[in-house]
Chains A and B, each alone.
Chain A
Amino acid sequence: MRDLLKNATARLDSWSTDYAAVTGVSGTRLLLGFVGLMYYVGQYQERNYLFGPDGVLPHEEFTAQLTGFSLYALSASPWYFQLLYHLGIAVALAVTLGVGGRPGLALHWVLLWSVYQRQPGLLDGGDNLAYVVIPFLLLTRCYDRFALPTGLANRLVQRLPGRLRALSVPFHNLGVLMVAVQICLVYVVSGLYKVMGEEWQDGTALFYIMRVAEFELPGWSNLVYENDLLVVLGTYGTVAFLVYFPLGVLVPALRPWAAVASICFHLSIAFFMGLTGFALTMIACDLVFLSGALDRALLWARGRLPRTWAAGAADTAVPAALPEAERPSGESGTRTAAKPV
């Protein structure tokens, strides 16, 4: 009993003093920034038709249908639209590169939400996950790695009173935990609904989905759906993986394997079904479970880079990265996230 109590207080201590999964959430921030950037860039040629005031959804009808807010609703001027769209690109690029810190990330969310609402028909689960998760990231130190150093943020933070700064740890851990719970919710819900479906029970669902033209890669998809064994294994494998993902995450030894399985699963979705943005968004959130592995990969990469590069990068990241990587169980970067809530 005493051991148990000691364990619990030790956990509570680490919850309020150690930042969990810093490298993981930094990776999440980078990848989400990139997917957001590609939402703008990928549709740049068609932006006037898809999002513009005289496009397929004229400004007047857009404002009539809008729920919530969108900065695009404020003016019907084509110049205002161009300004906002290009500002969106610049801010998304800054998030990807790690410039601008969390205020930049908040601005990115506002602009991204606005462009999503401008044409809601284009959205998929990936965009949905992105706008839900970015507010959680705002709580975390997601600019500590994979970021161009500017130093400005550090100088500003030093001016805050110490008591306020100490709060940053529990808030960070809460943010990491919320990303982790959210991604588990996505997997379990999509798994449970699949269990309810007849075709998923029969093991034939993959056969039906992969033939639909909108989600087909001609010349490749048929290699899968014409093979009975692949269809049945793929269908049952998908359901089993989705439903049991949270268990894989709760057991620290299984955690990196669950995350790697998820990454492979989504890469194949990106390839066969053309849902690149969705797949990369899911992978971005999986990274919170791979923080330890990412740390090791970073150290390994640094050992191989030319010395001048390594020296530049070492100033900002290495001292902070070391303690986490040296912990006995590397993957326990998200130890706190695994606690039942």
Chain B
Amino acid sequence: MAMAALSQAPLSPAKLVYGDPVAEYLDPYFSQNWQLFAPTPVSDNRGILARATCADGSVTQYYDVSTRAVEKAQDSRFFPSREVRIVSAHLQNITNSEEIVRRIRQRQTNDKKPMLPPLPYERATEAEAVKGLSRYAYDQMPTVCNGKAAKVQVRMYVDQLPPWSKRHDPSAEGKVLVKDFAWQKARDLR
């Protein structure tokens, strides 16, 4: 239990020294994560759009991939559908980094120094996530290009909702950030 407690403690000198062997011991059957909406609570809507390139080279409009699953989750209060988490889990893998790496990058930004480039394992994680998202998007638009899309591209959006200070301002709008990922060949996906 003491080891489980250490694995959950905030980053500290003790954790830097003993964290890895302890995590290895607990992994995978007793690994845990209790940050639950902390320290920073989610405050944006994240999701994906996707478009396809047909066999004749024409590129389609963007298709809203996320909304259907979100509505499915809102639809029930008794064990609602978890399909929405397919997208949010992949997006989390892309945007999250390890605590220590995150702090290094934050310090570099503050000091206006060049930022640490993505580490090899971060690049591998992102590639895996993009492939997963592209496959899910491809499955969600079966009628596009008459069912014969050649390539799919996923666009991630982060819609930052208006802050607390603007809660009484009806004209307040959130900020939307967008990132496009590389095109994926349909035959690599299915």
Contact = CB atoms under 8 A, between A and B. Distances in A.
B33 A128 contact: yes
Interface in A25-41: 38-39, 41
B161 interface: yes
A196 B39 contact: yes
A199 B41 contact: yes
B15 interface: no
Contact of A190 (B34, B76, B135): B34
B121 interface: no
Contacts of B89: 120-122
B139 A125 contact: no
Nearest to A125: B36
Contacts of B73: 214, 274
Given A212-B44, A274-B73, A193 B10 contact: yes
Contacts of A39: 79
Interface stretch (B23-31, B53-61, B103-111, B145-153): B23-31
Contacts of B30: 132
Contact of A209 (B27, B34, B41, B82): B41
B175 to A, nearest CB: 14
Interface string B35-65: 1111111111100000000000000000000
A313 interface: no
Interface in B60-108: 70, 73-74, 76-86, 88-90
A53 to B, nearest CB: 13
B167 interface: yes
Contact of A199 (B10, B40, B90): B40
A218 B164 contact: no
Nearest to A193: B38
B32 A132 contact: yes
A192 to B, nearest CB: 7
Interface of A is mostly: helix
Contacts of B76: 274
A150 B10 CA distance: 47
Q: Could you say which interface size class chain B belongs to? A: 35 or more
Contacts of B40: 197-199
Contact of A217 (B38, B44, B77, B81): B77
A124 B84 CA distance: 12
B132 interface: yes
Contacts of A226: 167
B43 A185 contact: no
A192 B79 CA distance: 28
Contact of A57 (B28, B84, B132): B132
A56 B42 contact: no
A220 B135 CA distance: 34
Given A196-B10, A205-B37, A217-B74, A185 B132 contact: no
Interface stretch (A7-15, A42-50, A72-80): A42-50
Contact of A56 (B27, B37, B81, B135): B135
Interface string A214-242: 11111000000010000000000000000
A276 B79 contact: yes
A178 interface: yes
A146 interface: no
Contact of B1 (A119, A185, A193, A214): A185
A107 to B, nearest CB: 15
Contact of A194 (B32, B33, B38, B81): B38
B121 to A, nearest CB: 13
Contact of B78 (A57, A121, A276): A276
Given A50-B83, A122-B82, A197-B40, A208 B33 contact: no
Given A120-B89, A213-B70, A214-B70, A197 B41 contact: yes
Interface of B: 1, 4-5, 8-10, 27-45, 70, 73-74, 76-86, 88-90, 128, 132, 135-136, 139, 161, 164, 167
Given A125-B34, A199-B43, A208-B41, 11 more contacts: A56-B86, A67-B28, A132-B30, A190-B36, A200-B39, A207-B167, A208-B161, A212-B44, A213-B74, A274-B80, A341-B1
